[in-house]
A = this chain, B = another copy of it.
Amino acid sequence: MSNLDVPYKIYLDESEIPSSWYNVRADMKEKPAPLINPATHKKLRVEDMTPIFCTELAKQELDDDTAWFEIPTEIQDFYRMYRPSPLTHAVFLEKALDTPAHIFYKFEGNNTSGSHKLNSAIAQAYYAKKQGLRGVTTETGAGQWGTALSMACAFFGIECKVYMVKVSYEQKLFRREVMRTYGASVTPSPSMETKIGQKINAEHPGTTGSLGCAISEAVEVATSTEGYRYVLGSVLNQVLLHQSVIGLETKKACEKYGIKPDIIIGCAGGGSNLGGLISPFMGEKLRGEADYRIIAVEPKSCPSLTRGRYVYDFCDTGMVTPMAKMYTLGHDYIPSPNHAGGLRYHGMSPILSKLYDDGYMEATSVEQTSVFQAAEQFARTEGILPAPESSHAIRAAIDEALKCKETGEEKTIIFGLTGTGYFDMTAYESYNDGTMVDYIPTDEELEASFAKIPKIDL
C-alpha cells in the first residue's frame, strides 16, 4: 500500500493497555467549578453524593488533584476483552479526498455495546459490586450507554434498570433486546412509573423524551430503592477519568509510530469520548509541553458549546440532581424529534466547559444531513459503518482535510470514531430515502430555554 508510512491499523500489545486512568483536572491550574447543592448552593462533599452515587465514584468525581488512578485488576481484565482498540490510518478516505492531510482515527466500536461507553460502564459496575449493591439505574439515549452498562452488570452479576429516551426506545427495538439479552430491564422515558415521569408527561404531552428526563427518573428510582445507586455514562468527571484510556492508548500508539497530531477532533454530546480522547494531549498542553488544535463537534440541533450559556444549571430536566457549572442550553431543552442520533444532552461536561471557556479548545457545530454524507463516504471508503454521533467527528475531520487540500498543508488529524451505527439504521434509512431534514433552533427558542435556568449567585 503505497501511501503507508506506518502500519495501516495500529494495535498496541495487551501489555500496553493503560494500568492507570489519567485525571486531567490535576493539570488544570483553574479547576472546573464544583458541583453544588441546588438548595444551599454549597459545594458538594462525598457524603452529600453517596445517597445517589457509589462511594468510590463520588470520591473520583470530587478529586481535582490526583493525577493517576490505578485501574483495579478486575477492570483491567475486562478491558482485555476488547482493548486495546486500534488507531487506524484512514488511507482509503485520504485517497478519496485527494488530500495531503494524514488522517487517523481511534476506533472504539469493536465491542457489543458498539461504542467507547463500555470503558466507564465496567468501572462503574465494578465499584457498585464492590460496595455490595444489588443494582444500578441509569438513562440511555441512543442506547449505547445502556447496552454497555447491561454488559458490565451481567459480567459482575448485579441488576440493571435502564430508562431509555422514548424516541430511541421506539426507533431502536434491537437495542432493547440486546440489553434484555444481558439481563437488564428497559423502560421508555418519560414513563408513568415515577413521580417525575408522570409530571413531565403531564407538562409535555406526547414528548419523545430527553436525556434530562431519563436522568430524573433513574435518579428517583435509585434513591428510592434499597441497595441501588445511580450511574451516568457521560458529563461527569469520573466518566472522563475512565475514558482517559482512549487518549492514553492513542498517545502511546502515536509515540510508538512517530505520529504527531496537529488537530484532534471528537464529537461532543456530554463530552465523555472527547474528554477521554484528548485528556493526555490536553495535559501536555496545560503543562506547556506541546500544542494541539482540539475541536469539539456538536449537532446544530443541540449546540451547547457553540450557542449555550456557561452557567450553573441542573443536570436533569426534573431538577433532582446537583447543579453543575457548564455550557448549557437549559435543563428543559429537548432537541427536535427530527434529530436522529445521540448527542442530545442539554449540557456539557464541566471539565470540557471550563477548558473551552479558558480557550484550550474550539467547538463547531454541523447539520445532520452533512453528517450522514460524511458517514456514507466513510463507510464506503474505510469499510466501517459509523454511528451518527461519531460521524460528527468524521464530518469535521473531512472538512479539515479538504482545507489542507486547498492550502497544500500536510497536517496530521486524529479523530475519535466512537462507535458503529448498526443500531441506527432507521436514521440511515431516512438519509437513504432522502427524507432526512435538518433542524436549527431559533434564538427565540434558545432564549426561552435559557430563561428557565435558575440564577445562582455564588
Question: Which chain A residues have a beta carbon within 8 Å of chain B's beta carbons?
Answer: 1, 7-9, 11, 13-14, 73, 77-78, 80-82, 92, 110-112, 114, 151, 154-155, 173-174, 177-178, 180-183, 376, 379-385, 420, 422-423, 425-426, 428-429, 432
Contacts and interface: CB of A to CB of B under 8 A. Distances in A.
B9 A383 contact: no
17 contacts: A1-B80, A9-B14, A78-B383, A81-B92, A81-B383, A82-B383, A111-B384, A112-B383, A112-B422, A173-B425, A173-B429, A177-B426, A178-B425, A180-B432, A182-B380, A422-B422, A422-B423
Contacts of A9: 14, 80-81
Contacts of A381: 155
Nearest to A81: B383
A380 B177 CA distance: 14
Nearest to A73: B1
B382 A81 contact: yes
B8 A81 contact: yes
Contacts of A77: 1, 8
A380 B183 contact: yes
B432 A155 contact: no
A92 B375 CA distance: 35
A180 B82 CA distance: 29
Given A9-B81, A112-B420, 10 more contacts: A7-B13, A8-B80, A81-B382, A110-B110, A155-B383, A178-B428, A181-B376, A181-B428, A182-B380, A422-B423
A393 to B, nearest CB: 18
Given A379-B112, A420-B112, A385 B7 contact: no
Q: Which interface residue of A174, A376, A383 has the most chain B CB atoms within 10 A?
A: A383
A429 B8 contact: no
